[in-house]
Amino acid sequence: MDAGVSVKHAALPPEMAGWRLDRALAVAIPTLSRERLKTLISAGAVTVGEKIVRDPATKVTGGSAAIIAVPDPKPAHNVAQDIPLVIAFEDEHLIVVDKPAGLVVHPACGNLDGTLVNALLHHCRGSLSGIGGVERPGIVHRIDKDTSGLMVAAKTDRAHAGLAAQFADHSIDRRYKAIVSGRPRPADGRIEGNLGRSPSNRKKMAIVGGGQGKHAVTHYTTLTPLDGAALVECRLETGRTHQVRVHMSSIGHSLLGDASYGSVSRAHRKLLEQLNFRRQALHAARLGFIHPVTSRTLSFESNMPADMQELFSHLLV
């Protein structure tokens, strides 16, 4: 076999008789997604018996075997960097990290390195089987630079596709802790409002009229009343950019430290300066999903980081 190609063998047992080849191989080789297998089959990289098969819809003969020649993943354009990570969970398919505030998730203009992706490329070196043929972590959701907490990334095509599907159908359990100005009335509630780019500032999000933006729903619960503020839990029914920040601001309870979406009282401003707290008080505290390969129910919780805990303690009454 040529260098740069790995060979995978798949047994296709009698119970798979009549299945499409791409479906059967996706079950036999969990690390490859069905879409990736379709591409490999069409490229002539799959042999069943002694014959190369190029049609993903070919019906399987039970009791046969397949050989798949998988090109090694191409290196990602981003550089691997040894940036410390807090790992909540990791297996051969995915990784859950507890991101600190200040760490950008993905390289972009202004942040070409020093990101979570750069850190994952280093940490997962040798264990990424490639997303779409490229050796990179699969980022299926993001957390703002100045928000801390839990997020999941995929290591394989199949994990990436399975996680993306769960995010798309809003079945992921995502709960944030936020310290907001004022005490919400009612203490618990539901906020619904489409989110889109603000017409007055394209760098910000805003609640927009019907037929515009993306449908967004946030459920909030007051956990602890504070001095002119409250610690709330926000459960995302949808996951939109800046959703918690915009929705809580829309009901008059913006996040402390959030310069983009709210004003701050004189007392709170003085406390934030005293504590040198210079970010929105928002932490992704809970993340739950179905493992896309093993089908296990996974759930993770993260305590508020020291800076938010300190702010919370100073506001206790």
Strand partners, 225: 230
Which position among 22, 55, 98, 144 bears the catalytic label?
144
What DSSP assignment string belongs to 173-229? EEEEEEEEES--SSSEEEEE--EEE-SS-TTSEEE--TTSSB--EEEEEEEEEETTE
Q: Which CA distances in Å does 204 have to 144, 196, 197, 199, 261?
A: 12, 9, 6, 9, 8
Chain centre to alpha carbon of residue 125: 20
The answer to whether 157 touches 129, Cβ cutoff 8 Å, is: yes
Amino acid at site 19: W
Under 8 Å CB-to-CB from 232, ≥6 apart: which residues?
A: 177, 178, 179, 180, 184, 220, 221, 222, 223, 248, 253
**Any idea what DSSP says for residue 64?**
E
Which residues sit opposite 108 in a β-bridge? 111
Region of 211 (left: φ > 0; alpha: ψ -120 to 50; beta: rest) is left
* 144 given a catalytic annotation: yes
Q: Which amino acid is at 298?
A: L
Catalytic positions, written as ranges: 144
